[in-house]
Each structure stands twice: as structure tokens, then as C-alpha cells.
Amino acid sequence: MGRLDAKVACITGAGSGIGRATAELFAAEGATVVVQDLDLASAEETITRLVGAGHMSLGGDVSDEAAMNTVFEEIQGDHGRLDILVNNAGVFRLPGDGFDQVLAGEGPQIRHMGYEPFMRMLAIHVGGTFVCSRAAVPLMSDGGSVVNLSSIAGIAGWGPAHYAAAKGAILGLTRSLARELGPHRIRVNAVAPGVIDTPMVDDLDPAMLAPLIGMTPMGRTGEASEIASTILFLASDDGGFVTGQWISPNGGLITC
Ligand code: NAP
């Protein structure tokens, strides 16, 4: 018996990294998984890795309100309900955000960060979490679980201003929705990973990561599968009385 038998779960940004690992684990635990990603081809690639049948892939930008409403209408049409939503889609860098100037030794980054990339980062992470959660709630009439991906950047400030602001806002949104949706038997929690070995991090200069890994008591980056198992705890009945909380799998990098 799997911990997610007969559950329908939607994971955004599941064409890569943590989202893909979570889709694999959820399917192994018996869930029917809706794999959503900006890049439909990568979502379809994830589907080929999942055990079990009935999984579906859907494309679209999580910050596009109309596109996400369509995604959840399709879930309603195909499955009739949703039990779990993982708001995972995200980016760390955007054109014009000043990161290139940091690499060139011209920091601090905020001096070079455009307003547009700042707001775009909020639109993807916070706007995406908002529109997907709002569209998912009517599908969770039997109760459900929402897990939002925050970051140590949103707790301790590591990471650039746009990303830290977005990941911090996700924690506030998580707490608010937990209070609002608790009476409707929908739990809402956040996972705030440390440095995790995914394509998002592959993109970064190892010299920038080395100090963070050096400050991590466990002395290594985390694996996507280690974040997936934390998400599973919150999504499943194992976390049945947990709502409005964040868990930070980070190897001890922050301990508050
Ligand atoms: P990843 O491997 O880059 O995966 C992110 C996925 O999200 C990609 O498939 C990406 O698609 C998709 N995506 C990006 N923008 C999207 C949008 N607007 N609409 C729909 N899908 C979109 O990164 P990851 O490390 O697994 O990150 C997953 C989540 O964990 C993110 O929210 C990230 O901020 C968070 N996180 C990661 C770390 C870490 O160290 N890796 C630490 C803390 C938190 P494309 O590839 O097509 O752009």
C-alpha cells in the first residue's frame, strides 16, 4: 500500500529537479500525477519515468492566470477532483537582474537589478502560487494538501533580492491560506530547501556555492529526492495535523 493511493496530485514545474523527483516519488506511493511545466516536452519526459498509469502532462506558465485556469479545468474534466497541489515551479535568475554584473565583480546586485525582472520573479513564484492555489481549491471539496516551495533565501536572506522577496512572500501566503482553508480541511504548508543539486543550481558558479556548502554542517548539497520526501510528508496523511508551517531541509545551514 502506498501513502498516496487513490490520490490525484498536481505538481508545477515538474519537468525538472525537485518537481520531477516529487512526481516520481508520488507515483511510487500510488498517486495519479498531473505533471505541469512551462516546457511541455520536459513534463512529458517526466511522465515516462513514472510508475503506474493515468498520469497527465500539461504545459503553461504558472504566472499566466488564464493558462492556469485552463490547466485546473482540464484536471477537473479528467479526474473530477484534486487532493494535492505542489507549487514548485520557479526560477533563480532572470535577464536584467544584475547577476552578470555580480559575476563580473560589479556587485551589489540590487544596483543592477531592473524593476521588470524584480516584478517578474514575484509573478512567477508568488503570482503562480496564488493563481494555482485559487484554481485548485474548488477541486479539493473532500479536503486536500497544498505544499509551496519557499527557500532558505526567503527565511535567512541568502540569494538575490527578487528571489528572497518572492520566497519570503510565499511563507506569508502559506500561513494566510492555512488559516483560511483549515476549516475546509485543506492543509497548506511550505518547504524551504537549502542548496539542492538540481539544474537550477548547476547554472551557478561553483565558487558562489562553496561558502554556503562550507557553512553547512552536513558539508554537502541536498538531493532532489530528499526534498521530495519532505514534500511527501506534508502532502500525505503523515502530516495530517500539520498546517501553516514550513520545514527547511538544509543540512543544518539555518537552524531557526
Ligand atoms: P529546476 O530544476 O530549474 O526546476 C524548475 C522547473 O520549473 C523547471 O522545469 C522550469 O521549467 C519550471 N518553471 C520555471 N518557470 C516556470 C513557469 N513560469 N511556469 C511553469 N514552470 C516553470 O529547479 P529546482 O531546483 O528543482 O526548483 C524547484 C523549486 O525549488 C523552485 O521553486 C525553486 O525556487 C525551489 N528551490 C530550489 C533550491 C535549489 O537549491 N535547487 C533551493 C530552494 C528552493 P524550464 O526549465 O522550462 O524553465
At 57, is the secondary structure helix, strand, or coil? strand
Q: What's the pLDDT at 58?
A: 98
- Whole-Å CA distances, 19 to 138, 152, 214: 23, 18, 26
The average pLDDT across 108-119 equals: 97
User: What is the distance between the alpha carbons of residues 243 and 28, in angstroms, rounded to a whole number?
Assistant: 24
Q: Which of 59-73, 94-108, 118-132 has the lowest mean pLDDT?
A: 94-108
User: What is the distance between the alpha carbons of residues 18 and 10, in angstroms, rounded to a whole number?
Assistant: 14
Q: What's the pLDDT at 140?
A: 98
Q: What's the pLDDT at 208?
A: 82
The average pLDDT across 175-194 equals: 98
Q: What's the pLDDT at 107?
A: 82
Q: Which amino acids bring their CB within 6 angstroms of ligand 1?
A: 12-13, 15-19, 37-39, 42, 61-63, 88-91, 124, 149, 151, 193, 195-196, 198-201
Amino acid at 96: G
* 209 compared with 64, residue with greater pLDDT: 64
Shortest-distance atom of ligand 1 to CA 62: 19
9, three cell numbers: 496530485
Q: Is residue 47's pLDDT more than 80?
A: yes
The average pLDDT across 94-112 equals: 94
- Among protein residues, the one with the nearest Cα to ligand 1's atom 36 is 151
User: What is the distance between the alpha carbons of residues 138 and 23, in angstroms, rounded to a whole number?
Assistant: 22
What digits encode the pLDDT tens for the residues 5-29? 999 999 999 999 999 999 999 999 9
Q: What's the pLDDT at 256?
A: 74
The Å distance, Cα 51 to ligand 1 centre, comes to: 23
User: What is the distance between the alpha carbons of residues 256 and 252, in angstroms, rounded to a whole number?
Assistant: 10
What digits encode the pLDDT tens for the residues 122-155? 999 999 999 999 999 999 999 999 999 999 999 9
Instruction: Place 73 in a pLDDT band, splitting at 50, 70 and 90.
Output: very high
Give CA 64 to chain center in angstroms.
16
| DSSP3 helix / strand / coil % (the chain, rounded to 5) | 50, 15, 35
Percent of the chain with pLDDT over 90: 95
Q: Considering the chain, what is the average pLDDT of its residues?
A: 97
Q: What's the pLDDT at 195?
A: 96
Q: Is residue 203's pLDDT more than 80?
A: no
Among candidate residues 62, 133, 163, 196, the one labeled active-site is: 163
